[in-house]
Amino acid sequence: MTTRSIFIGLFILLSSCTNNTDTSDISGSGPFSFEELSKIVESTRQKHGLPALGVLIQTGKDAPIVAVSGVRKLGNDQRATISDLWHIGSTAKSMTASLLATFVQQQKITFESTLFELFPEYADSFTPETKLITLDHLLSHRSGFKPNPAESQAEFEKLFVDINNLHQQRKKALLSAISEKLLFLPGSDFSYSNTGYIIAAAVIERLGNNDYETLLNERVLNPLHINHFGFGAPGAQHTGPEIVQPWGHVFSGKHLSPVAPDNIDQHNPQLFNSAGNLHISLTDWAIYARDHLNSRKGEGVILNQVLVEKIDMPTSGESGYSMGWGVLVEDGDPILLTHNGSDGNWFADIRLYPFADIVLLVVTNDGREDQEAKAAARDIREQFNKRYSPFP
C-alpha cells in the first residue's frame, strides 16, 4: 500500500461550473440522443487523453441515456462497455449515510446519538471532547477527527497489520480516534474525514449485528435490486490475458500506467470500504441516485421524505456539506447534491438536481483527479448545461 492510496479525494464544485473548451458542441434542444451523448463522450475522452470515459443522464422516470468510450486498459484493445463496473470513490459516502439513516428510520438511534452512548464499554477511552461527537458530526465531517486513521503506510501497518478481521479493524480505529486530541470541538468546524466514515461503519455494525458490507447490501442495495457492485477495484480476481473489467490508471511522472486490480499495494485498504471503496455499474449507480431523488418526493424505497430532507440539508441551512453530499442551497432548498472521489486510480462525479429531477454521473478509469479527469467531468457538465435546465 502506498501512502497515496490511503487518501480518497473530494472536490466539490457548488455551481453549474462552465468554462470555454474545445469539447464538441452539439446544437439542439431537449435531452441528448444516444448518438449525441456518445459523440460528446468520445471527443471529451480524446481531448483529455483518458483511457475510458462513461456518462449517464437520467431525467425523471425516463430511461437513462448512457454512453461509454475508450478501453478498459491502456495497451489493450478491449473496449469499455455500458455494463462495466467503475470505482466511484468517496461518492459512495452518501450510501453509508443512507445505511445509517435506515436505523434512524427504525428509531433505534437518532442523528443526535453520541458515540459515547453507543459504545459505553469504551467509556474510559473517551476524552471530554470525544464524548460530544454525534452521528450527525461523523457524517457531516464536523467531528474533529483527523482525515485518516493513518497518514502513512508505516503508521497504517503499525495499527492494523496484525488484524485481518475488518470488524476488529474498525473497533481499533474507533478506540484510537476517541482517545486522541481532536482537531476542533465537535460541531464547531468542518474538516473532511475518512476516519469519521470508518467509525460510522463501526456504529452500523453495532446496530445491525453484522458486517458493514453485508448490511449495505441487505438494507440499501438489495431492496433497489442492485446486483452489480463490490468493494475495491473491479475485476479483482484477474487471471490471464483477458481484461474482464476496466483497470484504474495512475499518472507516474510522464504517462499513465494501468494498475492491476489485484495489486493491493496500489489500492485503498478494505478498512476504507465505508469511506468510499465501492465499484458499481453506471446503471445500478443511477438506480440508487434516482431513489434518493424520489425519496425527496416521498416516493423512495429506502428512506422516507423527512429523513432524506434531513440528510440533504447542511446543519447551517446554507450551502456546504450535509451527510454524504456537497449541497448548493437556494431559497432554503437544495438545488444541487454532488460529490466526487478518487482512490488515485479512478475518478467519479455525481450530480443530482432536485428541481429538474435529473441525475448526471461521470466516471473514468483515470486517476488524475486534480487534472485531466476532473477537467473532463467539467467539460461534460458544460455540454449538459447547454441542453438541460437543471437549476430553478
Secondary structure (H, E, C), the chain: CCCHHHCCCCCCCCCCCCCCCCCCCCCCCCCCCHHHHHHHHHHHHHHHCCCEEEEEEEECCCCCEEEEEEECCCCCCCECCCCCEEECHHHHHHHHHHHHHHHHHCCCCCCCCEHHHHCHHHHHHCCCCHHHCEHHHHHCCCCCCCCCCCCCHHHHHHHHCCCCCHHHHHHHHHHHHHCCCCCCCCCCCCCCCHHHHHHHHHHHHHHHCCCHHHHHHHHHHHHHCCCCEEECCCCCCCCCCCCCCCCEEEECCCCEEEECCCCHHHCCCHHHHHHHCEEEEHHHHHHHHHHHHHHCCCCCCCCCHHHHHHHHCCCCCCCEECCCCEEEEECCEEEEEEEEECCCCCEEEEEEECCCCEEEEEEECCCCCCCHHHHHHHHHHHHHHHHCCCCC
Whether 119 is covered by a domain: the verdict is yes
**Structural domains of the chain, count:** 2
Residues 82 and 10 in one domain: yes
Residues 90 and 122 in one domain: no
Please, are residues 340 and 375 in contact by the beta-carbon 8 Å criterion?
A: no
Total-model pTM: 0.92
Return the C-alpha cell found at 36.
449525441
* Backbone phi, psi, residue 321, to 5°: -115, 130
At 323 the pLDDT is: 98
pLDDT along the chain (392 residues), means of 10: 34 36 55 96 98 98 97 94 97 98 98 98 98 98 95 76 83 96 98 97 98 98 96 76 90 89 85 96 98 97 98 94 97 96 96 97 95 96 95 94
Whether 224 is covered by a domain: the verdict is yes
Whether 161 is covered by a domain: the verdict is yes
At 152 the pLDDT is: 75
At 43 the pLDDT is: 98
Residues 81 and 120 in one domain: no
At 352 the pLDDT is: 98
Residues 190 and 309 in one domain: no
Residues 201 and 222 in one domain: no
Residue (of 369, 330, 374) closest to 19 by Cα position: 374
The two beta strands, 278-281 and 326-330, are unpaired
Whether 99 is covered by a domain: the verdict is no
Whether 101 is covered by a domain: the verdict is no
Residues 44 and 90 in one domain: yes
Residue (of 135, 93, 100) closest to 114 by Cα position: 135
Please, are residues 72 and 43 in contact by the beta-carbon 8 Å criterion?
A: no
Domain span at residue 174? 109-208
Q: What angle do CA 11, 14, 19 make, to 5 degrees?
A: 85
Q: What angle do CA 62, 70, 81 make, to 5 degrees?
A: 45
Residues 254 and 295 in one domain: yes
Residues 224 and 368 in one domain: yes
Residues 62 and 121 in one domain: no
Residues 353 and 299 in one domain: yes
Q: What angle do CA 290, 340, 91 make, to 5 degrees?
A: 55
Whether 322 is covered by a domain: the verdict is yes
Residues 167 and 222 in one domain: no
Domain end: 189, 208, 227, which one? 208
Residues 166 and 189 in one domain: yes
Whether 103 is covered by a domain: the verdict is no
Whether 48 is covered by a domain: the verdict is yes
Distance in angstroms (rounded) separating the CA atoms of residues 392 and 331: 10
